[in-house]
Amino acid sequence: MSRILVTGSTDGLGRAAAEALLSEGHDVVVHARSRERGAVLDTLVDRGAHLTVADFTQRDAVRRVAAELNDAEPLDAVIHNAGVWSGPAVMPVNVVAPYLLTALLRAPRRLVYLSSSSHFSGRPSLERVDWTGASAGSYADSKLFVTVLAAAVARLRPAVPSNAVDPGWVPTKMGGPGAPDDLELGHRTQQWLAAGKDPEALRTSGGYWYHRRLVRPHPAVHDEAFQDRLLRALADETGTVFT
């Protein structure tokens, strides 16, 4: 049994991943941005899940949750699922929060970051990026950055499998009812990378996955110089250095 944190697990792919992992017998930590939102997770808590609450637009809240989790049983894996499609929360939630959790949590043995095919449209430039959320951020850029983060972690922590997953354009609240991809397949790769026992899930790191197939990501993802620039920018912005 593994202890696994799934961020953004009140609905959609995060909820599906948390439910599937619970059904497999894992110790799951679910996450909601507020106590009110957390009420929808009562059925999972009744089944043994542990609830953590934090608004990921607030860096102090991310730091608090990291400290709380570090004081509890060690995590075996984290699925960085929380994300928003548009508006000022895009960079804080999609990039800054997973960066801070990665830097602050006692190193889990596996890390999974939610990317998107939209990352191919992202710009590999850090000029004028508003990490604070004072203005609306680019979803495509945010998904490129978090995919780069996953690859950078894989390079700098070679003992910790770190992968990015494109779940497909699925009919969730974010994807919309007309999304063409299979909702049932949307969370399976994350579940497999976080808890699967076969060698591919255990050993592959730095990959960009779509439905359990490795796909070539944006060229910037494996550009080590750009990885380092992104890590420096986030360290300067947050005052927290990833090591």
User: Alpha helix (H) ranges present in the chain?
Assistant: 12-23, 35-38, 42-46, 59-70, 90-91, 97-104, 139-156, 188-195, 199-203, 224-238
Residues sharing a CB contact under 8 Å with residue 166, sequence separation 6 or more, in sequence order: 115, 116, 117, 119, 208, 209, 210, 215
Give the bridge partners for 183, in sequence order. none
Count Cα neighbours of 221 within 13 Å in the Cβ-side half-sphere. 28
Taking the chain, what is the end-to-end CA distance rounded to the nearest angstrom? 28
DSSP-based three-state secondary structure for 165:
strand
Grouping H, G, I as helix, E, B as strand and the rest as coil, residue 42 is helix
Q: How many CB atoms lie within 10 A of CB 218?
A: 20
Q: Is 143 marked active-site?
A: yes
Q: Alpha-carbon distance 190 to 105, whole Å?
A: 19
Instruction: Exactly one of 99, 113, 143, 208 is catalytic; name it.
Output: 143
Q: Which of 99, 113, 139, 208 is catalytic?
A: 139
Token pair listed for 180: 């063409």
Contact 109, 160 (CB under 8 A): yes
Give the active site residues.
139, 143
